[in-house]
Chains A and B, each alone.
Chain A
Amino acid sequence: MTTPASLGPEAIRQLTMPTDPWLSCDDCFDQLDAVLEETLTHAAPMGDSFRVHLRACAVCHQEAHSLAALVAPDYGIDPARAEAELDAVLRDDGSPAV
């Protein structure tokens, strides 16, 4: 662990990030395929709890991006575009994602 711990702007943003409404990693995983399919095929708005969780949990965010890129061709979408669409949905409130 870094000593002294450096609290730069990114660390502070991460430490003080609002994470309500609550969603667990397990629930995020359970819903991921359905939410992603809706997002990619119908441009459906993502639920607040799911969007907040993906912005606040680095590994769930990474895995969601990976799944979007992998399945994109199955829905006739370019993988890069699918990831960009996911990012756009996560930025919906104007704040930067994780």
Chain B
Amino acid sequence: MSEVRELTAWAPLRHPGPHLRSEPISNADWIDDLSATGPRHDTAVARLHDLMLRSAWHQVTRMPESATLGSRRREEIVHAAADEATMSVLTRLDAFEGRSRFTTWAYKFGILHTAVEVRRSAWRDREIDLDSVPEFSASDTGPEGYVEARDLSDAVGRAMVSALTPHQRRVALALLVDHVPIDVLAERLGTTRNALYKTLHDARKALRSHLATQGFLSPSPTKEVTR
């Protein structure tokens, strides 16, 4: 990390780019330069860090949540995320298989680190009630199809209680009804985005199965693909 810390000491504040070259750099050159030693390596890392700054600024400006954070906090997030993303790329160079441009592969790390930190910052002071079991009510769907919609909503509400485990229920409610971002919820529950998505997958399956037996959904064939 010290390598990146030194870089950010002289990195531009808002407009990354002094090390970005206008001509494309081949995937092989990126890997060779980043794997080299001495000045060649340092220059390549500086170029990579500029890419990560660019992706971090791009991501911050796209997220409505970041508007409430203030310019100083946004700038902190951008630089911290660019540092972390640079390190992520450097430690995963062996995993790059050349299935895309190197820059496309690298940019996704900048986007991920930035998005996660913006969401965490935006939710930092927001309470998430994960303990209570709410009553369910259908929202007003208008006169057309009201009865059918109301019946389905009631059935889903009952299925939430009878077909899901307490953990599945609170994860599904937090993510899909209260719109808590998945990485924020993962942090609060001390788990991972991956594990929560699997819980949500299982909950959706259980709900669909339960509703199918009640005649509200037609059973659909499922094909589980494990990797």
Contact = CB atoms under 8 A, between A and B. Distances in A.
21 contacts: A1-B173, A2-B178, A6-B139, A7-B137, A7-B139, A11-B177, A15-B172, A15-B176, A15-B204, A18-B222, A19-B201, A20-B205, A20-B222, A22-B224, A24-B197, A33-B99, A33-B100, A34-B99, A57-B197, A62-B115, A63-B115
Interface string B102-121: 01110110011001000100
A44 to B, nearest CB: 12
Interface of A: 1-9, 11-12, 14-27, 29, 32-34, 36-37, 49, 56-59, 62-63, 66-67, 69-71, 74
Q: Determine chain A's interface SS by DSSP, over half rule.
A: helix
Contacts of B111: 63, 66-67, 70
Interface of B: 54-55, 58-59, 62, 99-101, 103-105, 107-108, 111-112, 115, 119, 128-130, 132, 134-139, 141, 149, 152-153, 156-157, 160, 172-178, 181-183, 193-194, 197-198, 200-201, 203-205, 207-208, 211, 217, 220, 222-227
Contacts of A7: 136-139, 153, 156-157, 177
Nearest to A19: B201
B101 A67 contact: no
A74 B58 CA distance: 15
B227 to A, nearest CB: 6
Contacts of A11: 176-177
A15, A20, A22, A57: which has the most chain B beta carbons within 10 Å? A15
B203 to A, nearest CB: 8
Contact of B194 (A3, A16, A26): A26
Given A15-B176, A24-B197, A66-B58, A33 B104 contact: yes
